[in-house]
Amino acid sequence: MQLTKTYITAAAVLAGTCAFGAGFQVLEQGASNMGTAMAGAVTNANNDATAAFLNSSAVTFIDMDAGKTMTTVGMAAVVPTLGLADGDTNNDCARNSFVPNVFMVHKFTDELFASVSVTAPFGLESEYETDWIGRAQGIHSFLFTTDVNPSVAYKVTDWLSIGGGISAQYAYCKLTSGLPQYGELALNGSGWGVGGNVGFTVEYMEGGRFAFQWRSAVQQDLDGTVRVYGTANGDISASVEMPQSFTFGVYQRLPGYFDNFAVMADYSFTGWSSFESLDIKGAINTSTPENWKDTSRVSAGIHYYPEQIKDLTLRLGVCYDESPVRNAEYRTVRIPCSDRLWFATGFGYKIAENIKIDMSYAYIMTIGNSDIVPAQYGGTEMAHYYGHIHVISTQINFTF
């Protein structure tokens, strides 16, 4: 039936409304990078272990002796206000969440490095009231992913470094929606996928470098169950491709009178167009078109290194993040995504020879078209998606 198709379509997307990157991407990979809205991340502008995930080749610019290891442990608190305005009714679906990450880099020689990262590149949670008007499309959405990414980097010359790694990614999703006859429909599934990533970093002049990283798509083949409460259960499977992406960026410490400043910029492409349709097999068999589009993200940032406090770095950044959802026809209550604009600030401080802390704050606001048509058992009603998100991040770096 159409209701089941609508539910399964949203379910296999593995997404909801609380991811703070466009689509269902989680971009928080290090508080140091969030301070500039992710500008400079691919070039490792902060010279810390977060490059283990963002571009393994750039770990070669970490300033530490051979035989040493740097570990970066971080946490981001995501505090969103997100929902659908339907006439005089506001349907808030936001849920606060925490995003942890861990990065580690070991320097074997002046040329050879190894690293590993444990991150959550996709994820969210959203929940509406059980009796809201769009309950046929979705009530509760939860996605959890863990990505373990070992990698190696090699400094080919004084100015060129290369790196690459393998990404093992686990995904778990649980979703519920309302049914007119049976009360509630629930679906859950989990699976593992594998991908890869390669990159390079070029130091084109003193204090200046540019870098590139490509991350492959990760095919997630999920196995799980569908349950209609009070009536029947069954097994299902679905295949979802986490999109490929590439990022190019530049970092430059300014010369002369402005040598207390550095500027940086990144451009990222994400191949969301791979999500053309959704196929579900098992107890339910259906195929539904999605028609997402490829997207771009552009960010720019600045560092200030005060002369009076040598161990302090101050950061500012802005970012424009494009949504993969084309229009209201393809926007669902689980993914009422629209373009986003970021404003970020933060600082880093070296509190000891081998310990550094970083903190950041980002305000993310939705912009552009965000209309949606939530269906209620065959009916339709136009509504408007609204949202803004606060992200507070912190991390600590140890070298030993």
pLDDT tens digits, 360-381: 999 999 887 666 665 544 444 5
Record: fold of 2-399: Porin (2.40.160)
pLDDT confidence band for 135 (50 / 70 / 90): confident
CB count within 10 Å of CB 310 equals 8
pLDDT at 11: 30
- Mean pLDDT is lowest, of 42-56, 165-179, 226-240, for 226-240
* 378 against 216, higher pLDDT: 216
pLDDT confidence band for 59 (50 / 70 / 90): very high
Mean pLDDT confidence for 249-254:
97
Q: Give the tokens for residue 77.
A: 């608190």
What's the rounded Cα separation, in Å, for the pair 286 and 276? 14
pLDDT at 30: 92
Tell me, letter by letter, the H, E, C secondary structure of the chain: CHHHHHHHHHHHHCCCCCCCCCCCECCCCCHHHHCCCCCCCCCCCCCCCCHHHHCHHHHHHCCCCCCCEEEEEEEEEEEEEEEEEECCEEEECECCEEEEEEEEEEECCCCEEEEEEEECCEEEEEECCCCCCCCCCCCEEEEEEEEEEEEEEEECCCCEEEEEEEEEEEEEEEEEEEECCCEEEEEEEEEEEEEEEEEEEEEEECCEEEEEEEECCEEEEEEEEEEECCCEEEEEEEEEEECCEEEEEEEEECCHHHCCEEEEEEEEEECHHHCCEEEEEECCCEEEECCCCCEEEEEEEEEECCCCCCCEEEEEEEEEECCCCCCCCCCCCCCCCCEEEEEEEEEEEEEECCEEEEEEEEEEEEECCCEECCCECCECCCEEEEEEEEEEEEEEEEEC
pLDDT at 394: 97
Asked whether the predicted pLDDT for residue 324 surpasses 60, the reply is yes
* 370 against 107, higher pLDDT: 107
List Cβ neighbours of 379 (8 Å cut-off, separation of 6 or more): none
Supply the pTM of this predicted model.
Answer: 0.87
Mean pLDDT confidence for 96-118:
95
